[in-house]
Amino acid sequence: MKVTILEAGRAPGRLSEDYPRYPEMFASLLSKVDESLRFETIALVDGAAPPDPAQCEAIVITGSPSGVYDQTPWMDPLRAFVREAFAAKTPVVGVCFGHQIIADALGGDVRKSPKGWGVGRHTYQITSRRPWMNEVGDTVSLSVSHQDQVLAPPSGAITLASSAHTDHAMLAYDNAPVISIQGHPEFNDAFVSALWSARRGKALSDDQVDAALESLAHPEDNSLVGEWMVRFLRSAR
């Protein structure tokens, strides 16, 4: 199976040079589950046009510093791509911004949350289960870094996980093979530590960054969610 990764953003400053870019992070995460997977990257952030979703086997939409309300040249083409992929029944996984743009394109309400920044290791309650969610317990924990949220999912979306900070942290769509996740299974602790620290005194206060770093003592479920992604994409095909 070939996974087409739509690169919607890059880490700020030197982080995009000092660490792998988001598509490489996803390829590493998913390859640990299935070494036979193949990958291609479409760099929307560099002006590349979205592919024909009907010709794709599986799609992952990455995170981004952009919000769905921003007027980037690729935002509307990406919305159109999401709708076309939905109609073509092409399997899609969205993460962070990817989670948000799918909901936005399909009629959900996505904007800056009145609850403010979500940073640190967040633990979500599993509220609904699907067959591809192997070894699922009552919770799942992932690192996060976001202001925007899906405040109201589109029609046909089912919330699979939520928390006090994020009501709709994971969605599945009953009328198409599409799932999305607010947290970052592709981010390791070294990268998120550097990401939060780079925002110290800017977007984030000292207290926010310190609390986020301390939260990394709680174990993450990156590998488990990576398994979910692969199992979902394979079962959807």
Report the pLDDT averaged over residues 179-192.
98
Is the pLDDT at 217 greater than 90? The verdict is: yes
| Chain-centroid distance, C-alpha 3 | 15
- In this prediction the pTM is 0.98
Is the pLDDT at 152 greater than 90? The verdict is: yes
Q: Which of 99, 122, 184, 220 is catalytic?
A: 184
The tens digit of pLDDT for each residue in 186-213 reads 999 999 999 999 999 999 999 999 999 9
Q: Which of 122, 146, 165, 186 is catalytic?
A: 186
pLDDT of residue 38: 98
- Residue 146 bears catalytic tag: no
Residue percentage of the chain with pLDDT more than 90: 98
> Of 3.40.630.10, 3.40.50.300, 3.40.710.10, 3.40.50.880, which CATH number belongs to 2-236?
3.40.50.880
DSSP string, 39-81: EEEE-GGGTPPP--GGG-SEEEE---SS-TTS--TTHHHHHHH
- Residue 56 bears catalytic tag: no
Q: Which of 7, 56, 96, 168 is catalytic?
A: 96
pLDDT of residue 135: 85
The tens digit of pLDDT for each residue in 48-107 reads 999 999 999 999 999 999 999 999 999 999 999 999 999 999 999 999 999 999 999 999
